[in-house]
């Protein structure tokens, strides 16, 4: 049994980057950029009106102004604004030469068809200046950033309609267990439905990876050996659920050994998921996931996702928050790091969700956070900080 942090550090040493490829903006979400993005334009590209109104000289605001032209967005002004002149202007349109102020439509009184009077002077000019957000040539997004919708807006604005991203690893999912039936079947006595495969599938999809499901494999050595030898050659990463603990039919560790897989760790001082196994053979990786659905869920969040993000070139760290605990937490022994489902209380604090242990997947239906109780800690007072990660 090694501590959680040691297991994480081992995983980091195996993070190799995949190759790169170009993707279009429809498919760039959640991918990791493999190039720095520089803007080819200034933003705004010209002095731009932030309001519908009248562009004029600030020094003329007390006077009646004559309207000399109309400037819709997307047209270039033809006149220079002189003394006591203004141009009717729309939001997003180019501010004409000579003007240094836009009177909002709401602050202008029409004196007649061609004249206005400003009724309310504001300190804001209502003009966004050329290049005030971004200058042509600026670095706007760094390589190895995970692309979110706001990044897509920037990519589009600066003309990167085919950004270069890291390839995603191929991921295979397998469940093991003689007790398992697929969800379509109503389980007879002694059987249960396979939930892990689908949960793992969805968690992997959250990373922008489309995994391959290889089905349920029964608890016998031959079938397991056959599927694992194929998966380990064909996929970058294999997730196999069940069969990694110490039961008589937990064959996975033995088979990996037989297949020549190097196992940097098997077992961590954590709950749930202490039997997590990590194996590697020729840059193909395997995680022996715990069979219990909560253990599998938590370990996929805290271990597998950061590992896959690393493979995909991400340098963004594990996301943690520190928040005060809403109620006191006490446990008899502090011999493990434990992960507990929790919720934001709505008062800026963390509230643990009622939880009966690692088979209680229903507890996570209500959870929005995974809360950590560190190794060695038996009591946390109400109001003390706990580390949580968002789900
Ligand atoms: P194992 O790790 O194979 O010893 O399984 C631990 C527990 O998790 C047992 O109660 C199994 O029935 C349950 N389990 C194993 N695999 C799955 C699965 N794919 N879906 C739901 N429960 C599972
Ligand atoms: Mg099993």
163: pLDDT strictly greater than 90: yes
The residues, any chain, with a CB within 8 Å of residue 222's CB and separated by 6 or more, are none
| Secondary structure, 3-state, 17-72 | CCCEEECCHHHCCCCEECCCEECCCCECCCCEECCCEEEECHHHCCCCEEEEEEEC
CA atoms within 13 A on the CB side of 159: 8
DSSP letter string, 69-100: EEE-TT----S---TTEEEEE-TTPBPPTT--
Nearest CA to 64 out of 120, 117, 119, 121 is that of 117
Contact between residue 355 and residue 286 where contact means Cβ atoms under 8 Å apart: no
Ligand 2 geometric centre to CA of 240 (Å) = 11
181: pLDDT strictly greater than 90: yes
pLDDT at residue 317, rounded to an integer: 61
Cα 243 to its chain centre, rounded Å, is 31
* Tokens encoding 243: 């069969």
Ligand 1 geometric centre to CA of 295 (Å) = 10
- Which of 192, 224, 250, 361, when mutated, tests ligand 1's pocket best, judged by the most ligand atoms within 8 Å of its CB? 192
pLDDT at residue 361, rounded to an integer: 86
State the sign of the Cα–Cα–Cα–Cα dihedral 323, 377, 304, 166: positive
pLDDT at residue 246, rounded to an integer: 85
Contact between residue 216 and residue 177 where contact means Cβ atoms under 8 Å apart: yes
Ligand 1 geometric centre to CA of 337 (Å) = 22
Instruction: Quick: pLDDT tens for 138-157.
Output: 999 999 999 999 999 999 99
316: pLDDT strictly greater than 80: no
What residue's CA is closest to ligand 1, atom 6? Answer: 291
Contact between residue 74 and residue 53 where contact means Cβ atoms under 8 Å apart: no
% of the chain with per-residue pLDDT over 90: 92
Ligand 2 geometric centre to CA of 128 (Å) = 63
Question: Is residue 347 classed exposed, middle or buried when 0-12, 13-18 and 19+ CB atoms within 10 A define those classes?
Answer: exposed
What residue's CA is closest to ligand 1, atom 23? Answer: 291
- List residues near ligand 1 (CB under 6 A): 175, 177, 179-180, 192, 194-197, 241-243, 245, 247, 290-293
* Topology of the domain covering 322-390: Beta-clip (2.40.340)
For the CA of 194, the nearest ligand = 1
CB atoms within 10 A of CB 235: 20
For the CA of 244, the nearest ligand = 1
The residues, any chain, with a CB within 8 Å of residue 266's CB and separated by 6 or more, are 244, 253, 275, 276, 277, 278, 288
Ligand 1 geometric centre to CA of 14 (Å) = 28
What residue's CA is closest to ligand 1, atom 3? Answer: 242
Contact between residue 350 and residue 371 where contact means Cβ atoms under 8 Å apart: yes
Domain range summary for the chain, segments of one domain joined by +: 4-17+167-311, 20-42+133-166, 48-128, 322-390
Q: Which ligand 1 atom is the nearest neighbour of the CA of 194? A: 20
Residue 280: φ, ψ to 5°: -145, 135
Rounded Cα distance, 48 and 62, in Å:
23
What residue's CA is closest to ligand 1, atom 15? Answer: 291
Ligand 2 geometric centre to CA of 195 (Å) = 13
Contact between residue 108 and residue 54 where contact means Cβ atoms under 8 Å apart: yes
* Topology of the domain covering 4-17+167-311: Molybdenum Cofactor Biosythetic Enzyme; Chain A (3.40.980)
* Topology of the domain covering 48-128: Molybdopterin biosynthesis moeA protein; domain 3 (2.170.190)
Element (H, E) at 324: strand 321-324
Instruction: Quick: pLDDT tens for 104-119.
Output: 999 999 999 999 999 9
- Mean pLDDT score across all residues of the chain: 95
User: pLDDT confidence of 357, banded at 50, 70, 90?
Assistant: confident
319: pLDDT strictly greater than 90: no
What residue's CA is closest to ligand 1, atom 12? Answer: 179
* Topology of the domain covering 20-42+133-166: Molybdopterin biosynthesis moea protein, domain 2 (3.90.105)
Ligand 2 geometric centre to CA of 249 (Å) = 7
- Which of 291, 360, 362, 364, when mutated, tests ligand 1's pocket best, judged by the most ligand atoms within 8 Å of its CB? 291
User: pLDDT confidence of 34, banded at 50, 70, 90?
Assistant: very high
User: pLDDT confidence of 17, banded at 50, 70, 90?
Assistant: confident
Ligand 2 geometric centre to CA of 323 (Å) = 37
CA atoms within 13 A on the CB side of 318: 19
Cα 218 to its chain centre, rounded Å, is 35
């Amino acid at each position: 049994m090694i501590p959680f942090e040691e297991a994480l550090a081992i995983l980091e040493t195996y993070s190799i980057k995949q190759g790169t490829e170009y993707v279009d903006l429809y498919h760039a979400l959640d991918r990791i950029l493999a190039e720095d993005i520089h803007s080819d334009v200034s933003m705004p590209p010209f002095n731009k009106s932030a309001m519908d109104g009248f562009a004029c000289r600030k020094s003329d605001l007390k006077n009646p102004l004559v309207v000399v032209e109309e400037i819709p967005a997307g047209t270039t002004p033809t006149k220079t604004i002189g003394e006591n002149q203004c141009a009717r202007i729309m939001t997003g349109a180019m501010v004409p030469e000579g003007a240094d102020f836009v009177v909002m439509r709401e602050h202008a009184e029409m004196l007649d068809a061609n004249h206005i009077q400003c009724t309310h002077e504001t300190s804001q000019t209502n003009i966004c200046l050329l290049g005030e957000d971004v200058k042509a040539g600026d670095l706007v997004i760094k390589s190895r950033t995970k692309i979110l919708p706001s990044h897509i807006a920037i990519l589009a604005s600066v003309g990167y309609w085919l950004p270069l991203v890291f390839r995603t690893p191929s991921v295979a999912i397998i469940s093991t267990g003689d007790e398992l039936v697929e969800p379509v079947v109503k389980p007879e006595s002694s059987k249960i439905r396979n939930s892990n495969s689908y949960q793992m599938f969805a968690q992997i999809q959250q990373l922008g990876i489309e995994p391959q499901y290889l089905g349920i494999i029964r608890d016998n050595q031959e079938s397991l050996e056959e599927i694992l030898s194929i998966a380990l050659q064909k996929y970058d990463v294999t997730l196999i659920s069940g069969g990694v603990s110490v039961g008589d039919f937990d064959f996975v560790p033995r088979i990996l050994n037989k297949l020549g897989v190097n196992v940097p760790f098997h077992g961590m001082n954590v709950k749930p998921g202490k039997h997590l196994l990590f194996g590697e053979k020729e840059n193909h990786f395997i995680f022996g996931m715990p069979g219990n659905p909560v253990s599998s869920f938590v370990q996929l969040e805290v271990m597998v996702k950061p590992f896959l993000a690393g493979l995909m070139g991400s340098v963004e760290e594990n996301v943690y928050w520190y928040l005060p605990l809403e109620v006191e937490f006490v446990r008899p022994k502090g011999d493990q790091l434990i992960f507990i489902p929790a919720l934001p209380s709505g008062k800026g604090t963390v509230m643990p969700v009622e939880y009966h242990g690692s088979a209680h997947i229903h507890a996570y239906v209500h959870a929005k956070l995974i809360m950590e109780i560190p190794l060695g800690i038996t009591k946390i007072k109400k109001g003390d900080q706990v580390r949580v990660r968002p789900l």
